[in-house]
Chains A and B, each alone.
Chain A
């Protein structure tokens, strides 16, 4: 995107000075080809009580069976006693573009009788990924492409109670909103009528504001008025009321993804029924790169600054401390070098 802007500026100022066609814009093509070859990485975390449809939603989002649940035929959900994190990676391809998608599941969150501090393993995991990246960055011999396991986006599932946020929701989002982009969604939203849905969302937004929780897209990060307008529209409909399914039914002659009940078929991709399509567009079609950028430029940088300040060392010392991670013989040489 930066290239683009630079190009237009140059084009605006010096356009009259160029004789003929230079071909600057082919840089875009080259970039595109390279990124397509290299592929994208996207790490998404799903958090919520068991049974809210997290795995189903991820499968529906990426139109493939990327979640553990679908891989085992007679999968019996057992509520685990502690919060553990499972990261599963798949490479999915569309129109020649490869994406390495990692879904991080958090079974056990919010399921126990006493859920005190159940967010801590998650906070720890997120920070660990940042730490890993930081270490790689500080290495002497850096890899060309640092493997990025940082969490780009965290989808938080709210049960469709129709009232407001629960204490556990507030606590979780307060803590994680500072270190990762949170996208709250209302799970299994086919239990709310449209009026109830609006009221619920309104109350959630009020609760979020009252508690100082900033969810994605954050207001402060809007870069220009265009972005602002687009993001305002998104912010007005957060949290998205979603319904997920992997079953198809016939409606009016087409096959649609939906849930069939005795009183009608809930079409997942129909915006009049639920906001799944909006969520998908946000996450994948329009803001995927933005999520990664925000994770890298904002959250990661915050972590990095905090880490460097905390350890009370300056950069070189930290670098020295990370060197023993590689080969030990280099240490003596480089010390003498300094």
Chain B
């Protein structure tokens, strides 16, 4: 469960919290294949305990109510919402009852967020040659890597892991998404890979640190959120499950970012091999204690579709993906795919790979949840630890300066210490140390005398 820190320092990104409202009321977004059901997002477990559809509103957002409490309007005279189609008061049974009218808030928020747009930061990691760039292009139907030059073996020998950030703005049906993709070329390529994930870890920490600084600063209007919301980790299909590099990296990063493991180049596996490999990887993830991103639990009153959807997602980890930059033609249709002498693989065919599942999950249903978990869990963990470290350093500094003063013998100048008990104990410890030293000297002298007398007697 996320740790809700309701301290006054925490900023709740207003627009972000209200995203689930917006997305839920949107008409189904379909570009290539038609989807019969509109994807819904299950709301997170409600900490306030309210068993309502609407999560608690943040305290600071202005509640624009068009109705004054003294004279309740009759249903007929209620102002119509500008979003006629989505007016929640439209159903016939509601016509007779009296309402305040704030159920139209989602629609208002929707308008605001549409104007502002969303941001999302995605990171990809994995050995080179596993199809990361191709998959990114396929996922977002872009071509980020047009003029790419893959380094040959000589150039790669001395390469360290780079962190490259690509930003792309995608717009669809009037909604803007500013997508940042962080690539990690060189990861896992060297002969000695113990430092591979260090750069990645440092980068993630750096983003957290920057946000922390901005948050604690004076001007908080335009904070740029560069925190990494999700890490797609590519596991090679050629191995027998997870490799030591995979385990090492995921364990170093699982408390800092949402990890979604993917099985790359899934078209090299037959159906049974795929199943076996997924099972193996899942077992190993449990065995090594890696905390990958958990899909949120469905409340018991959610409809069955949603629950089955979540279950399917949960059972498909790691997602077996295939990517392609080219369109192929087969049986009269054109689609993104790979053409082999023995058949044609379709990227968006659910029977061939879990690509669609991944894309839906990432973009349509769980984007907000990923951001929420990053914000509530990973960032808060980082922040708490940061603050703890800072106070610890401060306490140590104070203790050290107190200790120095004690040593100099100026007891009279003791200011009121932060932790009085500790200095008392420290003084005792120092006295005992002195005693021990004196005793040691005495022992040494006795030993010398004994040796001297022994030599004398010989």
Contacts and interface: CB of A to CB of B under 8 A. Distances in A.
B317 interface: no
Contacts of A166: 128, 153, 156, 189
A136 interface: no
A266 B193 CA distance: 35
Given A116-B192, A161-B129, A79 B152 contact: no
B344 A263 contact: yes
B152 A264 contact: no
A273 interface: yes
B352 interface: yes
Interface in B117-168: 127-130, 150-154, 156-157
B150 A164 contact: yes
B95 interface: no
Interface string A156-175: 00011111111111110000
Contacts of B157: 167, 170
A152 interface: no
B192 A77 contact: no
B240 interface: yes
Interface residues of B, number: 44
A79 B244 contact: yes
A277 interface: no
The residue among B265, B342, B345 with the most chain A CB atoms within 10 A of its own CB is: B342
Interface stretch (A17-25, A202-210, A318-326): A202-210
Contacts, number: 126
A165 B152 contact: yes
A7 interface: no
Interface string A225-268: 00000000000000000000000000000000001111111110
A163 to B, nearest CB: 5
A267 B152 contact: no
Interface string B266-282: 01111100000000000
Contact of A262 (B152, B189, B239, B352): B352
B244 A113 contact: yes
B456 interface: no
B32 to A, nearest CB: 19
Interface residues of A, number: 48
B240 A164 contact: no
A203 B244 CA distance: 28
Contacts of B351: 262
Interface string A182-196: 000001101101100
A12 B346 CA distance: 64
The residue among B153, B196, B270, B345 with the most chain A CB atoms within 10 A of its own CB is: B153
B288 interface: no
Interface stretch (A49-57, A138-146, A308-316): A49-57
B154 A207 contact: yes
Contact of B191 (A115, A163, A164, A273): A115
A311 B408 CA distance: 69
Contact of A273 (B156, B245, B342): B342
B414 interface: no
A263 B239 contact: no
A219 to B, nearest CB: 21
B341 interface: yes
Interface in B194-251: 194, 196, 236-240, 243-245, 248
B242 to A, nearest CB: 9
30 contacts: A49-B238, A52-B238, A53-B238, A79-B243, A113-B196, A113-B244, A113-B248, A114-B193, A115-B191, A115-B193, A116-B192, A159-B236, A164-B156, A165-B153, A166-B156, A168-B191, A170-B153, A188-B268, A193-B338, A210-B152, A259-B270, A261-B267, A261-B269, A261-B271, A263-B267, A264-B343, A264-B344, A267-B342, A273-B341, A273-B342
Given A168-B191, A169-B153, A170-B157, 15 more contacts: A51-B240, A53-B238, A79-B243, A112-B244, A113-B194, A161-B129, A167-B156, A190-B268, A191-B237, A194-B341, A261-B270, A262-B351, A263-B340, A263-B343, A273-B341
Interface of B: 127-130, 150-154, 156-157, 189-194, 196, 236-240, 243-245, 248, 265, 267-271, 338-346, 351-352
Closest 4 CB pairs of A and B: A161-B129, A264-B343, A263-B343, A191-B268
